[in-house]
Amino acid sequence: MEGSLELELNQSKKGVIKKSFLVALLPLIALAFLLAFAFNYFGDVSYKTGLVNAIPFCVISSAIAIPSVRSVSAADKEFIIYDSSLSDILGVLFFNFVSLNEVIDTESFVHFGFQIVLIVIISFAAVLGLSFLLSRISHHISYTPIILLVILIYAISKEFHLSSLIFILVFGLFLGNLNQLKHFRWIEKFGLEKLDKEIARFKDITIEATFLIRALFFILFGFLIQADDVLNVSTLPWAVGITVGTILIRWGVLKYLRLSSPALLWVVPRGLITVLLFLSIASSESISFVNKSLVLQTILLSVLTMMIGLIANKDGSVHKKDNHEGSSAISKTAIL
């Protein structure tokens, strides 16, 4: 929700969105299939099981990436917000598709495509209703019911195995880009002036709530970390290999797309989304060496790699930011 509310959709962002989508998608797919092959070969499991276990390690954590890029240029910061947010969404969709289908064939692709179309239609209907409600509520308690309704729709979608994350994406994009819809007459029924003010407050509440949830998660995560898990030598080579593979594949994609900013290469942290997807793996599809130790080591190594990379390129990023300051407007997506 937080990421989608910050994404700006207009013609000027077309190039950024296209490239960030490719940078989010291509490394995710490439690393997932390579890692699945390794799990299949060394773990003596089916390729599908290997893929289910591989995907959590291939998703960038926007919860860590977005707050970590305050010192980079505005353009890089904007790109990373798009990149990490899209990586979260694509990673969850990819994981759900693989894990929920016993057999991956043409029929499963058609069924998944139908689910996507259906949830998009449901999302638009629900978003219009929630937006109208948000513009009409005059009671001093207005946002909690909206958030609860969003959670309800999300839960119902998930119960019917629909891609509920798409609903959250559509809802956030709609509220965050109302200015792009002003040329439609029907949008006037929402009372744009009042709705703009309400959306600004809704964003603030969403950011605060998201920060609270993140903080609680990482506090609990810190308490659960044990030295034995971090220093497990049997999984350390896998964690190093995943981290190195992530950087190499991302470097190749950035090179192909002619994106030369050093900061973009290193911001590939694993975190909250990796843990949540790992915990979602069914016990029947678990692999012995894909365990808590491997998850912890991969998260820590990826975060340390990002930290060292950003520190090493901090001077260049700041210099680039100073050179461009005043020559281009900072997008609202860079506020975070």
Taking the C-alpha atoms of residue 61 and residue 273, their distance in angstroms, rounded to an integer, is: 6
113 three-state secondary structure: helix
Report the pLDDT averaged over residues 63-75. Answer: 80
End-to-end CA distance of the chain: 14
pLDDT(127) > 80: no
Query: What local confidence, expressed as pLDDT, does residue 160 receive?
Result: 67
Question: Crossing angle of helices 272-279/292-312, nearest 10°?
Answer: 160
Query: What local confidence, expressed as pLDDT, does residue 38 receive?
Result: 93
Widest pairwise Cα distance in the chain: 63
CATH number of the domain encompassing residue 11: 1.20.1530.20
- Taking only the tens place, the pLDDT of each residue in 210-254 is 888 878 877 887 787 788 878 888 899 999 999 999 999 999 999
Taking the C-alpha atoms of residue 227 and residue 152, their distance in angstroms, rounded to an integer, is: 39
Q: Which residue has the higher pLDDT, 109 or 38?
A: 38
- Taking only the tens place, the pLDDT of each residue in 274-333 is 988 998 898 888 898 898 899 999 999 999 999 998 888 775 444 444 444 443 333 333
* Average pLDDT score, the chain: 80
Domain count, the chain: 1
Short-list 74, 194, 213, CA closest to 136: 194
Domain span including residue 6: 2-334
pLDDT(2) > 80: no
- Taking only the tens place, the pLDDT of each residue in 25-61 is 999 999 999 999 999 988 888 999 999 999 999 999 8
Query: What local confidence, expressed as pLDDT, does residue 239 receive?
Result: 94
Q: What is the pTM of this model?
A: 0.79
Location of structure tokens 């609903």:
167
CB neighbourhood size of 301 (10 A) = 19
